[in-house]
Amino acid sequence: MKIAVCAKQIPDPAIQVTYSNGTIERPEEQVLDDTDRYGIEVALQLKERFDAEVTIISMGPSGTQKGLQQALQMGADKAVFVDDESLKGANSLMTANVLSELAKFLLADIVIFGTESTDGYSGTVPQQVSRYLDIECISYVKAIEVNENVTLTRQTVEGSEKVNMPDKCVISVTAGGVEPRYPNFKDIMAAKSKPIEQVSISDLNINSTQNLEFIDIETVENSKTGEKIIDEGEAYQVIVNKLKELKVI
Amino acid sequence: MKTLIIGEIINNNLSSGTLEILSKAKSLELDVQVITVGSDENPSIGLDLCKQTYLKRQSNSLNISKAATKISEIIKNEEINLILGSSTYMCRDLISFLSVDLNSSPVSNVIDFDVTSENVSTVNSINGGESLYKTKINSDKTLLLIRPKAFDPAEVNFNDDFETIDLDGSDIEVFDIFIEEKSGPQLEDSKVVISAGRGMVDKDNLELIETLASKLNAAIGGTRAIVDAGWMPYSQQVGQTGKTVKPDVYIACGISGATQHQVGMKDSKFVIAINKDEEAPIFQLADLGIVGDTLSVIPKLNDNI
């Protein structure tokens, strides 16, 4: 079994993202999106059961490759990425187009994602990749049981449902679905010798277009000048009075 | 502009998200029809405002991709240019599949849009609502995923006048379907929402929130941090990647107010925030801010309400 799992390098999420001409500014050093740790964990659980090969796929400015290293430290075998100036500000469809081509290049049976990235949060790429690959998408997976079969539990609007993982599919994993493993010192050292390969966009079949045009970013003033009270033990009374005034109680 | 709204069924009627988009489409005087995807046996989803088609799928088969194929066919046959769906689990799947079929990237997290004879433009809220990101769509087919609560819902009369198309199943069987018990107020439509963040310190302390919620008849939400920590199911997450709420009163307990959380609650009418950190961003959105330990304030509220 060959597994491709997506890892996006994003600016440190502790710092608010900044935009330049509508595109997120990306520093040289980017980190692994925490969202992807859940997908990588699922890939590693499958690897343990099926002796699968797990390859990280990524698109975007590679920079110091810190985020890719973090993905490899968790236990993936290798990484392939596409980094091309023409992909700057790529929309979700173009991103999915590139990642699906990488999955094809790797002959991946199973392609795994987080549900949405922390910086772009479009939340459509996993499903788009499945459509490009013409395989089903098991979306919003919140639990995995690896036994004889692999059973995936999907989040639905009403609750949840289960499916058995087919031989080929795309899986998107919700944050909190599994417990991502932390690499130890040995894992961190081992990751340094794992292969990271750049794939040229000219080797991929890209037919999507940049149909979304950035117009403007407008700042809105939405800070309120509310009442602020330091609690010295009696502040609850202010809340109670306010709730009465608002007719909640 | 010929417009298609992808509808979703909740409680045998159209979801509020669907009705919100319908009201916006009507206000723009678009030539609109609705195609609803669901597995309910006899939903009451016919509309007096426009044409309704029901794509009926089997609940025991994962065949949302088949629904997308059928919708793509209709879009091409009827030369539909604008396709709208609410940012729900199912619509995100459908719009994503359609975007590949129609070779047009969708716009996600839309909070407003406009249609002229020339093109469609959209507005997204970014950086926790501090900025509005505006996009123009330069393609023949435009696909938008719209955040819930962006518009007021249309007032409609439901009837039984609609065409039903039965969809084929897929090879992927669905089993152990679990319907979450919907006891108590639901996040999306409750007048009072109490949300918990990391400041609650420990999962066991959520009992304090539950007690307060039952006293105020409130729904309970949480930040992504505590959902990730497994304290609450994903379905209760408020924010960018979770639900959008707009209650009369929102009580944020131990929430610092990351921009991703703000997006999901900033339109609440009255915000009460309790947080130890005086500098927490949540206070910028609060009508009433209490700088204090939420673990000491909530028990007192529970004793005095």
Q: Annotate A60-97 with three-state secondary structure.
A: CCCCCCHHHHHHHHHCCCEEEEECCHHHCCCCHHHHHH
Which of B139-153, B162-176, B232-246 has the weakest average pLDDT? B232-246
pLDDT at residue B181 greater than cutoff 90: no
Average pLDDT, chain A: 94
Tell me how far apart the 2 most distant CA atoms of chain B are, in Å. Answer: 63
| Cβ-Cβ contacts under 8 Å, A141 against chain B | none
Residue of A37, A38, A122, A152 to mutate for B, most B C-beta atoms under 10 A: A122
- Do B90 and B201 lie in one domain? The reply is no
- Do B195 and B110 lie in one domain? The reply is no
A191-215 pLDDT, tens digit each: 999 999 999 999 999 999 999 999 9
Which of A8-17, A121-130, A234-243 has the weakest average pLDDT? A8-17
∠ at Cα A203 (A201, A204), nearest 5°?
70
Confidence of residue A223 (pLDDT cuts 50, 70, 90): low
**Helix, strand, coil share (%) of chain B residues, nearest 5:** 30, 35, 40
User: CB-side exposure of B182: number of CA atoms within 13 Å?
Assistant: 12
Residue type, A243: L
User: Nearest-CA distance from B195 to chain A in Å?
Assistant: 15
A170-183 pLDDT, tens digit each: 999 998 779 999 99
* Inter-chain touch A162–B8, beta carbons under 8 Å: no
| Cβ-Cβ contacts under 8 Å, B282 against chain A | none
pLDDT at residue B147 greater than cutoff 70: yes
- Do B90 and B211 lie in one domain? The reply is no
Average pLDDT, chain B: 94
Q: Which two tokens stand for residue B93?
A: 């799947």
pLDDT at residue A222 greater than cutoff 90: no
Domains, in order of start, for chain A: 2-203 (3.40.50.620)
CA separation for the pair B136, A211 (Å, rounded):
8
CA separation for the pair B186, B221 (Å, rounded):
10
Pairing of strands B163-166, B51-56: parallel
CATH number at B48 reads 3.40.50.620
* Inter-chain touch A240–B305, beta carbons under 8 Å: yes
* Inter-chain touch B285–A223, beta carbons under 8 Å: yes
Tell me what pLDDT residue A17 has.
84
Residues 195-214 of A with CB under 8 A from B: 207-214
The arithmetic mean of pLDDT across residues B72-87, rounded, is 97
Q: Which two tokens stand for residue B50?
A: 């426009």
* Bridge partner residues of B112 (DSSP): B123
- Cα–chain-centroid distance for residue B147? 6
3-class DSSP assignment, residue A159: strand
DSSP state of B173: B
Q: What ipTM did this prediction achieve?
A: 0.94
The total of structural domains in chain B comes to 2
Tell me how far apart the 2 most distant CA atoms of chain A are, in Å. Answer: 67
- Do B24 and B160 lie in one domain? The reply is yes
- Do B102 and B193 lie in one domain? The reply is no
Does B182 map to a domain? Answer: no
B186-196 pLDDT, tens digit each: 898 899 999 99
- Do B141 and B221 lie in one domain? The reply is no
pLDDT at residue A224 greater than cutoff 80: no
Closest CA to A197 of A74, A62, A32: A62
- Name which of A16, A153, A159 is nearest B259 (Cβ-Cβ): A16
- Do B161 and B192 lie in one domain? The reply is no
A35-54 pLDDT, tens digit each: 999 999 999 999 999 999 99
CB B291 within 8 A of CB A228: yes
Does B181 map to a domain? Answer: no
Closest CA to B18 of B158, B193, B221: B158
- Do B115 and B195 lie in one domain? The reply is no
A89 contacts chain B (CB < 8 A): no
- Cα–chain-centroid distance for residue B275? 27
CA dihedral (A133, A138, A141, A145) in degrees, to 10, reads -100
- Do B192 and B160 lie in one domain? The reply is no
Does B79 map to a domain? Answer: yes
CA separation for the pair B32, B41 (Å, rounded):
25
> Which structural domain, as residue segments, surrounds residue B195?
187-304
- Name which of B62, B95, B228 is nearest A163 (Cβ-Cβ): B62
pLDDT over 70, % of chain B: 99
- Do B60 and B19 lie in one domain? The reply is yes
CA separation for the pair A147, B245 (Å, rounded):
39
Confidence of residue B45 (pLDDT cuts 50, 70, 90): very high
A122-165 pLDDT, tens digit each: 999 999 999 999 999 999 999 999 998 999 999 998 889 999 99
* Bridge partner residues of A81 (DSSP): A58, A198
Instruction: Tally Cβ neighbours within 10 Å of residue A219.
Output: 9
CB B173 within 8 A of CB A163: yes
Distance set, CA B188 to CA B16, B20, B229, B236 (Å): 9, 13, 22, 10
CA separation for the pair B145, B168 (Å, rounded):
25
| Cβ-Cβ contacts under 8 Å, B176 against chain A | 153, 160-162
Place of tokens 């417990």: A179
Q: In sequence order, which residues have a C-beta less than 8 Å from that of residue A6 and are 6 or more positions away?
A: A36, A39, A56, A57, A58, A99, A111, A112, A113, A114, A125, A126
Does B171 map to a domain? Answer: no
Which of A132-146, B20-34, B113-127, B162-176 has the weakest average pLDDT? B113-127
Closest CA to A154 of A135, A167, A171: A171
| Cβ-Cβ contacts under 8 Å, A211 against chain B | 104-105, 137-139
- Do B142 and B196 lie in one domain? The reply is no
The arithmetic mean of pLDDT across residues B101-128, rounded, is 93
Tell me what pLDDT residue B168 has.
93
Of the candidates B131, B166, B201, which is a domain's last residue? Answer: B166
pLDDT at residue B132 greater than cutoff 80: yes
CA separation for the pair A117, A17 (Å, rounded):
13
| Cβ-Cβ contacts under 8 Å, A246 against chain B | 248-249, 270
Does B173 map to a domain? Answer: no
pLDDT over 90, % of chain B: 83
- Do B112 and B53 lie in one domain? The reply is yes
